[in-house]
Amino acid sequence: MAHHAIAVMVSGRGTNLAAILEAAKNGECPVDVRVVISNKIDAPALRIARDAGVSSVFFVNPKDYKDRIAYDKACADIIEKADCQWVVLAGYMRILSSFFVNYFFNRIVNIHPALLPAFTGVDGVSDALAYGVKVAGCTVHLVSEEVDGGAILSQAVVPVLNDDSLESLHQRIQKEEYKLYPQTLHRMIEQGFSMDGRRIIWR
Ligand code: GAR
Strand partners, 142: 109
Is the CB of residue 90 below 6 angstroms from any atom belonging to ligand 1? yes
CATH of the domain at 77: 3.40.50.170
CA distances from 117 to 9, 34, 47, 67, 130 (A): 22, 31, 33, 29, 16
Q: Give me the DSSP letters along the chain.
A: -PPEEEEEEESS--HHHHHHHHHHHTTSS-EEEEEEEES-TT-HHHHHHHHTT-SEEEE--GGGSSSHHHHHHHHHHHHHHTT-SEEEESS--SPPPHHHHHHTTT-EEEEESS-TTSS-STTHHHHHHHHT-SEEEEEEEE--SSTT-SPEEEEEEEEPPTT--HHHHHHHHHHHHHHHHHHHHHHHHHT-EEEETTEEEE-
Residues 133, 138, 140: CA angle, nearest 5 degrees: 145
Same domain for 6 and 91, yes or no, is yes
Nearest CA to 125 out of 179, 96, 166 is that of 166
Same domain for 2 and 101, yes or no, is yes
Nearest CA to 139 out of 121, 157, 122 is that of 157
Taking the model in full, what pTM does it have?
0.97
Picking from 86, 105, 124, the residue at the C-terminal end of a domain is 105
Question: What is the C-alpha separation between 171 and 109, in angstroms, rounded?
Answer: 21
Is the CB of residue 16 below 6 angstroms from any atom belonging to ligand 1? yes
Q: For position 1, what pLDDT does the model report?
A: 62
Same domain for 92 and 123, yes or no, is no
Same domain for 100 and 1, yes or no, is yes
Same domain for 46 and 133, yes or no, is no
Same domain for 31 and 57, yes or no, is yes
If you measure from the C-alpha of residue 10 to the centroid of ligand 1, how many angstroms do you get, rounded to a whole number? Answer: 9
Same domain for 73 and 149, yes or no, is no
pLDDT digits (tens), the chain, 203 positions: 678 999 999 999 999 999 999 999 999 999 999 999 999 999 999 999 999 999 999 999 999 999 999 999 999 999 999 999 999 999 999 999 999 999 999 999 999 999 999 999 999 999 999 999 999 999 999 999 999 999 999 999 999 999 999 999 999 999 999 999 999 999 999 999 999 999 999 99
Give the residue, by CA position, lying nearest to ligand 1 atom 9.
Answer: 91
Picking from 105, 121, 149, the residue at the C-terminal end of a domain is 105
Picking from 105, 135, 155, the residue at the C-terminal end of a domain is 105
User: To test ligand 1's pocket by mutation, which of 174, 181, 185 has the most ligand atoms within 8 angstroms of CB?
Assistant: 174
Same domain for 115 and 199, yes or no, is yes
Same domain for 147 and 165, yes or no, is yes
Same domain for 134 and 81, yes or no, is no
Total count of domains within the chain? 2
Q: For position 56, what pLDDT does the model report?
A: 97
Same domain for 114 and 101, yes or no, is no
Q: For position 35, what pLDDT does the model report?
A: 98
Same domain for 18 and 76, yes or no, is yes
Which structural domain range is residue 125 located in? 110-203
CB atoms within 10 A of CB 117: 13
If you measure from the C-alpha of residue 121 to the centroid of ligand 1, how many angstroms do you get, rounded to a whole number? Answer: 11
Looking at ligand 1, which atom is closest to the CA of residue 45? 16
